[in-house]
Copies of this chain bind each other. A is one copy, B any other.
Amino acid sequence: MADDRPYHHGDLRATLLRAAVEVIAESGAAALSMREVTRRAGVSHAAATYHFGDKRGLLTAIAVDGYRALHAELAAAERERRSFLEVGVAYVRFALSHPAYFDVMFQPHLHEVADVELREAKRSTAAVLYGIDDGAPTNVAAGVAAWSLVHGLATLWANGNLPAQLGEDPEAVTRAVAAHLRVPRASTRT
């Protein structure tokens, strides 16, 4: 029935990206292959090379999507709730609900480092992570502390390295754990 599929797919680039994210979520970025991605998308195995140049190009495109999505989530959390803590919760939520993006994003050796879109996407995400206080120069060590904590928590959780007694709700755990962070007063203000 699907054999009336036209020669031109129409949206193949996006379809390939979705398939790749699926594969990575299941088996990790290391296990990604161009062949598997095209197989899932139901196209010839050379199609991915046409769209992304090579494997690194595909992974770079995924990283760009990931940074943009994370940026959007963090910015929304900051805007809506103006709370330092809730930005951290949003970070952990993103990491756990988009493991494929998270996996690829923080392994720069998989990326085309020179890629302009990637650099810009990373830059604006970092701005939200550091510049929590709307332009006011934030204490960098405090920002790194907060980022490290949520990043480490998300990573340890995702890999199943945390004790079971913490329960099953990562957002609740994030709030409990992040309570041990001493943040600059200005950041918790409403």
Contact = CB atoms under 8 A, between A and B. Distances in A.
Interface string A121-165: 000001000100000000011101111111111011001111101
B156 A147 contact: yes
Interface stretch (A41-49, A72-80, A104-112): A104-112
A180 B177 contact: no
A187 to B, nearest CB: 11
B161 A106 contact: yes
A49 to B, nearest CB: 21
A38 B111 CA distance: 29
Nearest to A29: B30
Interface residues of A, number: 40
Contacts of A30: 28-30
A114 interface: no
A161 to B, nearest CB: 6
Interface of A: 28-30, 106-109, 126, 130, 140-142, 144-153, 155-156, 159-163, 165-166, 173, 176-183
Given A107-B159, A130-B163, A144-B166, 18 more contacts: A108-B159, A108-B161, A140-B165, A142-B180, A144-B162, A144-B163, A145-B179, A145-B181, A147-B152, A147-B156, A148-B150, A148-B152, A149-B149, A150-B152, A152-B153, A155-B155, A180-B182, A181-B181
Minimum-distance CB pairs A-B, first 6:
A152-B152, A30-B30, A148-B152, A151-B152, A145-B180, A148-B153
